[in-house]
Amino acid sequence: MTTAPVCGARTPIAWWECEPRRLRRDREEIPAHFPDLVFSDEGAGSWEGTLPRWPFGRPEPTHLTDWIGESGLRLRLAYSQAYPMVAPRIIPLDPLPAPFEWTQHIWHVNGDASLCLLQDDVWTGRETVVDLLLKAAGWRIEYALMKYQAIEEMTGSGIVTDHRLDHFLAQPPPPGDGGQDGPAC
């Protein structure tokens, strides 16, 4: 005996059941570039952990650790069931932006505290999540530059491929409170 389907009842389908190749791709690419991120299949899925402080192709600036410390951004990358058509959210956990920074364009943080990483780009669903994570690693560095008031606004393209801000990191940050308070809003 079989059970007749109930009219109007739907069984939720996880995005990876519709896009198994995309899940396999993410589960291969992300650990290859960011071995400290751990995948969770709870809900729509997520990755959590700490990014390297300088995962870029050019040499790490001499005084980078003076600006951001020994480790990179600790984050959670959260998928929605609309992935890959909708980009995953990247939520910084450490450092955690102050609430007044969440809606100001200069900080590149959305109102829900996720990072706004597609300033000059469009997400089509074909891109790799690795590129978003690289931008998040760059956001961490630009966030420190903002906190120390070395720059007044984050770059549009990001520090991943734009070396214009590297000269700041070749010198120690200015003396003071470590940039913890940042500019007043």
162 or 50, greater pLDDT: 50
86-138 tens-digit pLDDT? 999 999 999 999 999 998 889 999 999 999 988 777 899 999 999 999 999 99
Question: What pLDDT, on the 0 to 100 scale, is given for residue 8?
Answer: 66
Give the integer Cα–Cα distance in Å for 182 and 148: 7
For 59-81, what is the mean pLDDT?
96
- What confidence score (pLDDT) does residue 179 get? 53
The pLDDT value given to residue 174: 87
Predicted TM-score (pTM) of this structure: 0.88
pLDDT at 183: 39
Q: Which residue has the higher pLDDT, 44 or 181?
A: 44
Secondary structure string (H, E, C) spanning the chain:
CCCCCCCCCCCCCCHHHHCHHHHHHHHHHHHHHCCCEEEECCCCCEEEEECCCCCCCCCCCCCHHHHHCCCCCEEEEECCCCCCCCCCEEEEEECCCCHHHCCCHHHCECCCCCECCCCCCCCCCCCCHHHHHHHHHHHHHHHHHHHCCCCCCCCCCCCCCCHHHHHHHCCCCCCCCCCCCCCCC
Strand partners, 109: 115
